[in-house]
Chain A
Amino acid sequence: MATSGTIDPMLPQPYLVREVFKETPDTFTLRLDPENAVNETVFRPGQFSMLWVFGVGEMPISISGDPALHNRLVYTVRSVGQATHSLVNQRVGNGVGVRGPFGTGWPVEAARGRDVIVVAGGIGLAPLRPVIYQVLQNRKDYGRLVILYGGRSPRDLLYREELAKWTRNSETQVLVTVDYGGLSWRGHVGVVTTLFKYSRLHPARSVAMVCGPEIMMRFVIRELEAAGLSRDDIYLSMERNMNCAVGFCGHCQYGPHFICKDGPVFRYEQVRALLEKYEL
């Protein structure tokens, strides 16, 4: 646990909504600052928090902000149910309870000296954005950065201004595609796996970090393996119904793992057999 002010991991800490930004018609990015200065929060890319909307409920949300900014937590939330709908409709100044950060992170430190391949689908770019920030802030410590991002349609793409900005970085390749593109869309149309043929990968020196719907990740893994990446160099972020976030309740059990405690980021080899099981 990295939150200096949190003693009991089950006790939410008070945060205030400082900014709400509409990314897409149903997805919003919220910036939260600690209500008390003592709550300075440090997190690793890939970790998540439990966000509590008072009177509504609690939900696990990946941190999508910059890990270098310790007094700020940023979350990108898709409004898909009562709790997330209530969260994205919070006004600036409202209070939100925060537990965490929890879980394992992406192997960003271990990837120093190597190429980093980020493959994201839909809102899966949110937990990977801190990886991109960290690599770009320490550019000389890493090889090439390849970002492959697929969305449902142009209006569903997250962080459009940043995607354009990241493209301008040296040794960075950003490829974006949509499943359904209108006539005004001048980019790629096709699923995210179709981008691999335009990327220049060096499998022996690369680490891949993948986040998106599970079936998309399975198709992406096939492409990564076909490109020559070792299973040990492929990492996935898994999602299940996380509740306590500390491995007590068992809601997020995934085979022998608890997603909240042992994940959400796993080395592919750790979960490979589980990915092929129905109803797990």
Chain B
Amino acid sequence: MEPLERIIGQHPFFVGLDDDFLSLMVSCAANLRFKPGTYILKEGDAADTFYLIREGKVALELFAPQHKPIIVSTIGIGEILGWSWLLEPYRWKFNARAVDDVRAIALDGKCLRNKCEENHDLGYEVLKRFAGIMEQRLDATRLQLLDVYAVGR
């Protein structure tokens, strides 16, 4: 089995970050498995963790009254799940459900955000990296909203 240190260190999100900081992240990281249908995050719960998806697919869902949950998007292998731990009020905005067998590394977001407050260079690096992920998802959401395959488009 691949050591956590290597998996985390080689992930594009962490490449180039300070070694001491990476060691800290690795020391509080945990390998987790989720069975299909299991909720990894629940809307409204405290957001203190984020996940690096290693295997499987996670559906981001939103509940609407009197409707079945709406799947907003899916997160797959190599992607980061969760950024609400980074921004107040540190609560999840969506549900995240394992679509199939999911293997993930859970990382301590609370610890990371405290470190970012103490060390603004680190904070800038982390925010810049998350801003990249947010930009990609915003672009995808905009295209999704256009509903380009509808008749008459």
Interface of A toward B, CB cutoff 8 Å:
26, 78, 80, 121-123, 150-152, 156, 177, 179-183, 185-191, 193-194, 197-198, 212-213, 215-216, 219
On chain B, the residues within 8 Å of A197 by CB distance are 76, 78-79
| Contact among B68, B144, B150, B151 for A183, CB-based, below 8 A | B68
On chain B, the residues within 8 Å of A216 by CB distance are 143, 148
A78 to B57, CA, bound (A): 31
On chain B, the residues within 8 Å of A186 by CB distance are 57, 99-100
Interface of B toward A, CB cutoff 8 Å:
57, 59, 68-69, 71-74, 76-79, 99-100, 139-140, 143-144, 146-153
Determine which residue in A78, A183, A185 has the highest number of CB atoms from chain B within 10 A of its CB, and name it: A183
A191 to B57, CA, bound (A): 16
Grouping DSSP codes into helix (H, G, I), strand (E, B) and loop, the B interface class, with mixed when no group exceeds half, is loop
Could you tell me if A179 and B147 are in contact, using CB atoms closer than 8 angstroms?
yes
Indicate whether A182 sits within 8 Å of B68 (C-beta atoms), given known contacts A193-B139, A194-B73: yes
A105 to B85, CA, bound (A): 50
A188 to B144, CA, bound (A): 13
On chain B, the residues within 8 Å of A121 by CB distance are 148-149
Could you tell me if A198 and B149 are in contact, using CB atoms closer than 8 angstroms?
no
A177 to B151, CA, bound (A): 19
A181 to B148, CA, bound (A): 15
On chain A, the residues within 8 Å of B150 by CB distance are 152
Could you tell me if A193 and B140 are in contact, using CB atoms closer than 8 angstroms?
yes
Considering only CB atoms, which chain B residue lies closest to A192 in the complex? B143
| Contact among B77, B100, B139, B149 for A213, CB-based, below 8 A | B149
Could you tell me if B78 and A190 are in contact, using CB atoms closer than 8 angstroms?
no
A186 to B144, CA, bound (A): 18
Could you tell me if B148 and A215 are in contact, using CB atoms closer than 8 angstroms?
yes
Indicate whether A219 sits within 8 Å of B76 (C-beta atoms), given known contacts A156-B149, A181-B71, A213-B153: no
Indicate whether A152 sits within 8 Å of B57 (C-beta atoms), given known contacts A183-B71, A190-B140, A213-B153: no
Could you tell me if B71 and A185 are in contact, using CB atoms closer than 8 angstroms?
yes
